[in-house]
Amino acid sequence: MKPDSVQFAGEVASIVSQIPAGYVLSYGDVAALASFPSHARLVGKILGNIGMSSSVPCHRVVNADGRPAPHWNMQRKLLEAEGVEFKPNGNVIMQKYRWNPPIAE
């Protein structure tokens, strides 16, 4: 099934909105939760689109390394405000702050 941008965006927005403060999720994870494990890149694009005009906490979504988006600077600061710690190299401590999502079906 092809991901309708509307549906996919809706799923992504819904999932990202459910991320509790102090936790992060990778694009791949969000994509997988949205039922499209191979559209991690699309998640980023969608967040870029909706994040500017929606209440979706797009700052809680990072890449698989736990590193904030390459285009957006304040993200790290926002995560720090959520209580997320960073490694000296600038990566989030994923093994500790990676959100454990509810078992979806």
Give the footprint of DNA on this chain (CB under 7 A).
2-3, 5, 8, 26-29, 38-45, 47-48, 51-52, 58-59, 61, 63-65, 69-72, 75, 89
Q: Is 57 helix (H, G, I), strand (E, B) or coil?
A: coil
CB of 105 to DNA, least distance (A): 22
- Residue closer to DNA by CB (options 4, 20) is 4
- Please report, as a single letter, which amino acid is at residue 1: M
- Residue closer to DNA by CB (options 48, 83) is 48
Residue 9's DSSP bridge partners are none
CB of 101 to DNA, least distance (A): 14
Please calculate the CA angle 29-31-33 and round it to the nearest 5 degrees. Answer: 70
- Residue closer to DNA by CB (options 2, 55) is 2
- Residue closer to DNA by CB (options 4, 83) is 4
CB of 80 to DNA, least distance (A): 16
- Please report, as a single letter, which amino acid is at residue 17: S
DSSP state of 61: E
DSSP state letters, 24-54: BEEHHHHHHHTT-TT-HHHHHHHHHHHTTTS
